[in-house]
């Protein structure tokens, strides 16, 4: 058997280099553990902060619901008081609103406007049961229905309202109407009476 002769100094040098590298690796490992711990602490801090924000948001939502209910009650009382005064003095009242609930419960006659133009006129029952103008139909279709147990997604009117001053001699609702015809884009419709309401729409037989 043959043995290779290795100088003692060379072996000692290699051993020293290995120990140095081992010490470096140990130091890196310690730094990694420390970094991991810092990350865990940061995550715990963020989680606690998010939990606090969730509690604040939840509290804000509850406060908002309380304010909303109070506002609705106050609005209802205000509307009822005005209605009582109108009846007591036998006078008419003009309500300008986007709230169809107010329209349904407080008024007798409705004027529907779009982009500054009157598009339909009628008594409240006919407007809600037999709307003739596509805009009025779209408004009513967007309302949630108490009978809808499946919570069907509400209908929305496509597009965006035009700037009133940009409308030329055409139907103001033409760009958003699903029934639009060529005449709608080059002629402004006039109000014509039909079997239920008075509407400014070329779909009505009186406007053909």
57 and 32 belong to one structural domain: yes
Task: Tell me: do 122 and 39 sit in the same domain.
Answer: no
Any domain includes 3: no
The secondary structure element, H or E, covering residue 75 is helix 8-88
More confident residue, 18 or 121: 121
Classify residue 197: in a domain, yes or no. yes
| 35: pLDDT strictly greater than 80 | no
Residue 4 lies in a domain: no
Q: Examine the domain organization and report whether 44 and 79 are in the same domain.
A: yes
Rounded CA gap, 175 and 161, in Å?
9
Among 55, 72, 93, identify where a domain stops.
93
Q: Which of the four pLDDT bands, split at 50, 70 and 90, describes residue 39?
A: confident
* Choice between 169 and 93, residue whose per-residue pLDDT is larger: 169
Residue 122, domain extent? 100-146+154-207
Instruction: Note the pLDDT of residue 11.
Output: 46
Name the domain count of the chain: 2
pLDDT at 208: 43
Alpha helices in 89-181 (DSSP H): 100-106, 124-129, 134-141
Residue 31 CA to residue 28 CA, distance in Å, equals 5
- Which whole number is the average pLDDT over 2-30? 60
Q: Is residue 50 part of a domain?
A: yes
Look at residues 52, 74, 93 and tell me which one is the last residue of a structural domain: 93
Instruction: Note the pLDDT of residue 184.
Output: 95
The answer to whether position 159 is within a domain reads yes
Is the pLDDT score of 94 beyond 90?
A: no
pLDDT in tens, 96-154: 888 887 788 888 999 999 999 999 999 999 999 999 999 999 999 888 776 666 656 77
What is d(CA 197, CA 133) in angstroms, rounded to the nearest whole number? 9
For residue 85, being part of any structural domain is answered with yes
In a domain, 2, yes or no: no
> Across all residues in the chain, what is the average pLDDT?
78
Q: Would 1 be classed as within a structural domain?
A: no
pLDDT of residue 147: 63
């Amino acid at each position: 058997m043959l043995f290779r002769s290795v100088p003692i100094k060379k072996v000692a040098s290699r051993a020293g280099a290995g120990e140095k590298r081992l010490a470096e690796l140990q130091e890196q490992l310690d730094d990694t553990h420390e970094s991991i711990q810092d990350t865990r602490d940061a995550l715990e801090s963020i989680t606690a902060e998010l939990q606090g924000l969730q509690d604040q948001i939840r509290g804000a939502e509850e406060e908002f619901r309380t304010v909303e209910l109070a506002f609705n009650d106050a609005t209802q009382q205000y509307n009822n008081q005005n209605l009582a005064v109108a009846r007591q003095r036998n006078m008419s009242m003009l309500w300008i609103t986007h709230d169809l609930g107010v329209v349904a419960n407080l008024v007798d006659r409705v004027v529907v406007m779009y982009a500054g133009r009157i598009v339909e006129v009628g008594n409240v029952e006919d407007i809600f049961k037999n709307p003739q103008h596509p805009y009025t139909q779209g408004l009513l279709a967007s309302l949630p229905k108490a009978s809808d147990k499946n919570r069907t997604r509400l209908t929305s009117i496509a597009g965006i309202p035009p700037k009133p001053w940009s409308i030329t001699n055409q139907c103001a609702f033409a760009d958003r109407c699903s029934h639009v015809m060529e005449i709608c884009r080059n002629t402004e419709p006039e109000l014509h009476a039909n079997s239920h309401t008075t509407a400014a729409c070329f779909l009505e037989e009186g406007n053909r």
